[in-house]
Structure 1
């Protein structure tokens, strides 16, 4: 005798179906960019944007406010666009859940998640040390908050950066196997 799934289980299945539909829709975007060359270029832009955020947070009191907010804004916009595009190009491996992951994709996702967790942990320790160092200076709390947010953004982009840089190009034979062409 089987029971009907509860409301929570049905809601969860509905959410997973929506996520799968979104991933399927996203997987058809930017077909000409789905190679290592484009992913690595976006990875370089995202890494540079992360460095701009960290660098401007470090020199906040040494530069003019207009220059700071200009650099900070440019880092956020460039990094956000590169991150968004990389998330499209790396597919479900960067996302949280997906029932459609194969073994290779699942292995990549687990590998980069662990790398990202470790890097984020070290970056948060570095931000705490920075906060302690600047706590007695002028605007120490604000400077620490800027550095913590810059390092947090950097840490959360690391899994996508690692995937964008290291994923090989897709093998065209993989697509032909699923087409029924024997």
Structure 2
């Protein structure tokens, strides 16, 4: 009988895969790894999330223009999110085995905040959908707008740990990522 459980083997695989990808991305975007530049990315994501919420609200009233606005929001979100993940070293979703004690504590704290943000923000569109459904709203706008708002709150909560770690993380050591 093997000494390691399936979960242990999976965690070891995750750690190996994470370290491989970290090695691949180690030299990417060196000038964006500073705290100032990471904060620009975090603010950009916050603005994008605000725009996504506005799109959800617009979809409540207008299903012609509203859905078309979602595409630019996604076209801005994906590059910002990808760049933030690369320059922050993906510490928000890193496996336990690749982090030291301080990084693990920071990651767990950021994840806890992310879960709280997700749960709290998701209540708003959930109540919106409950109220619209119980009021007998027959328009297709309500479920679509509610779906966009739920998706946005889940994205916000999922991105919160990386945003916190990107905002609070120190600048890299000068010899870590030489330009």
Q: Same fold (TM over 0.5)?
A: yes
Structure showing greater relative contact order (alpha-carbon pairs closer than 8 Å, 6 or more residues apart)? 2
Give the TM-score normalised by structure 1: 0.81
Match in the other structure for 1:179: none
Tell me if 1:51 matches 2:50.
yes
Give the TM-score normalised by structure 2: 0.82
Long gaps (5+) in structure 1: 176-182
Q: Distance in 2 between matches of 1:7 and 1:100?
A: 19
**Quick check: 1:20–1:99 contact (8 Å CA) kept in 2?**
no
Q: Name which one, 1 or 2, has greater alpha-carbon Rg.
A: 1
Which has the larger displacement, 90-99 or 123-132?
90-99
How many correspondences in the alignment? 171
Match in the other structure for 1:124: 122
Cα root mean square deviation, aligned: 2.3
Match in the other structure for 1:20: 19
Per-residue deviation, residues 22-73 of structure 1 (Å, max 9, x unmatched): 12222222112110121111111111111111111112143362x3233211
**Quick check: 2:45–2:80 contact (8 Å CA) kept in 1?**
yes
Q: Distance in 2 between matches of 1:130 and 1:45?
A: 27
Long gaps (5+) in structure 2: none
Q: Distance in 2 between matches of 1:11 and 1:129?
A: 38
**Quick check: 1:39–1:89 contact (8 Å CA) kept in 2?**
yes
